[in-house]
């Protein structure tokens, strides 16, 4: 499913709303989540899952084309963990645990 | 570090940014999450441009270990969600 398909589906379920407003809702939700992570905050959506930021240590990387070693600086990376309810739905109704 | 946003915060933001009632905003957020969950439940990929992709991966059963007690246990076969943030999101988050 693509962003545009999600918007189309939500718009068709809500004929009383303008397509453009539905699109702005989807854009705003995704932008707010990104903005929170940018600040280092967490976003917890019960049942669905939680977005957080994880610290990644500096490491010795490699240029895949030349095979040359390059230093990769420590950085922060977005992380998503599925919620209990979503884990259960993916596994026949029973959450198999973490 | 510290703050945790919830549905209520997202609905507040929607109220500010989009000229819809709080009720409509709340319903749309819920339907949006439900569509994402339903798509993943079917094992299908969710691709949200500029945000990231959610996919479902099947894991085989394996022997794991409780890191606290050291006791071995079988971890059952399962389906897990994996999220890969877009290049745009990764660049925005990495300095944080």
Domains of chain B: 1-42 (no CATH), 43-96 (4.10.520.10)
This prediction has a pTM of: 0.92
- What mean pLDDT is predicted for residues B60-64? 92
User: Which tokens in the block code for residue A24?
Assistant: 């702005």
Quick check: A13 contacting B, CB < 8 Å? yes
Q: What is the complex's ipTM, to 2 decimals?
A: 0.91
Q: Which chain A residue is nearest to residue B44, measuring alpha carbons?
A: A1
CB contact under 8 A, A10 and B31: yes
- Paired sense of beta strands B4-5 and A42-45, if any: parallel
Quick check: A17 contacting B, CB < 8 Å? yes
At residue B1, the pLDDT reads 56
A37-58 burial: b if 16+ Cβ within 10 Å, else e: bbeebbbbbebbbbbbbeeeee
The topology (CATH level 3) of A42-98 is HU Protein; Chain A (4.10.520)
Query: pLDDT over 70 for what percent of chain A?
Result: 99
Best interface-test mutation with A: which of B32, B62, B74 has the largest number of A CBs within 10 A?
A: B32
At residue B95, the pLDDT reads 80
At residue A32, the pLDDT reads 97
Taking CB atoms and an 8 Å cutoff, what residues of chain A touch B83?
51, 78-80
Mean pLDDT of chain B: 94
Say which residues have a Cβ less than 8 Å from residue B78's Cβ, sequence separation at least 6: A90, A91, A96, B58, B59
Confidence of residue A39 (pLDDT cuts 50, 70, 90): very high
Q: Give the integer Cα–Cα distance in Å for B95 and B2.
A: 16
**Domain residue spans of chain A:** 1-40, 42-98
């Amino acid at each position: 499913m693509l962003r545009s398909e999600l918007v189309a589906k939500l718009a068709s379920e809500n004929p009383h709303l303008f397509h453009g407003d539905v699109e702005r809702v989807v854009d705003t939700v995704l932008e707010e989540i990104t903005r929170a992570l940018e600040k280092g905050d967490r976003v917890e959506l019960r049942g669905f899952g939680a977005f957080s930021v994880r610290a990644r240590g500096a490491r010795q990387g490699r240029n895949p084309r030349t095979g040359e070693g390059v230093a990769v600086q420590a950085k922060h990376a977005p992380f998503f963990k599925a919620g209990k309810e979503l884990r259960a739905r993916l596994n026949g109704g029973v959450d198999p645990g973490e | 570090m510290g703050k945790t946003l919830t549905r209520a915060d997202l609905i507040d933001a929607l109220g500010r940014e989009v000229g819809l009632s709080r009720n409509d905003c709340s319903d749309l957020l819920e339907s949006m999450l439900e569509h994402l969950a339903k798509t993943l439940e079917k094992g299908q990929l969710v691709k949200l441009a500029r945000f990231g992709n959610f996919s479902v991966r099947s894991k085989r059963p394996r022997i794991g270990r409780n890191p606290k007690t050291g006791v071995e246990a079988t971890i059952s076969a399962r389906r897990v969600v994996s999220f890969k943030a877009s290049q745009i999101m990764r660049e925005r988050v990495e300095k944080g």
